[in-house]
Copies of this chain bind each other. A is one copy, B any other.
Amino acid sequence: MTRSIDFYFDFSSPYGYFASTRLDSIARHHGATVRWRPILLGLIFPHTGGQPIPSIPLKWEYGARDIARCARLHGIPFRLPAPFPISSQAPARSFYFASDHEPERATQLAQALFKAYMVEGRDISSPEVTADVANENGFDREIMHNALRDPTLKKRVRSETDAALARGVFGSPFVLVDDEPFWGFDRLDQVDRWLATGGW
């Protein structure tokens, strides 16, 4: 059985986006696969006192700089989008819809949504924009747009987020390797090492 690691992220999280550009190749290097799991940090923050970075000026002054610096250092295409942050309900719902109906293309859709927001500055909080991006990636626009209004999918995103929270997830990116938790883009080197060695 192929080993699998769990990748929790919010579509509005730059560090989550950075991780999304690296994690598959790290896993593949160790014969593992990545289970992508978008969540809503907005549902988790009330449990942790967490806040979107831009809401604290002193931290955001640093955060905006660190995000841009990390992108340059790692050669990851990125332009801080506006508005930022956004609600990531629409892209999260579209991912789970894709995951249920065309699982082999769900990851590609997630990558396209991240790119649309984090590189091209398209506001994927809009169901219209998310449906457009899905359509550009081979999904039927009308079906996807309708799905984004489906209460079942809304519940699905909430239950996935609750399940993540129950596993100790409180940020983005958050990776679980055999239940070993790693928080942050700056822990991917440890994820790599953990996959290689089984721990230390």
Counting every copy of the chain, the complex holds 2
Q: Are A186 and B183 in contact (CB under 8 A)?
A: no
Collect the chain B residues with CB atoms within 8 Å of residue A66's CB. Answer: 183, 187
- Residue-wise, chain A 161-200 has the 8 Å CB interface mask toward B (1 for contact) of 0000100101000000000010110110010010000001
Bound-complex Cα distance A72 to B51 (A): 30
Q: Are B72 and A170 in contact (CB under 8 A)?
A: no
Judged by a CB distance under 8 angstroms, whether A56 is at the interface is yes
Complex: chain B residue closest to A73, CB-CB: B200
Residue total for A at the interface (Cβ-Cβ under 8 A): 25
Cβ < 8 Å to B, chain A residues 45-62? 47-49, 51, 56, 58-59, 61-62
Bound-complex Cα distance A49 to B72 (A): 29
Known: A186-B186, A190-B69, A200-B73. A56 touches B61 (CB 8 A): no
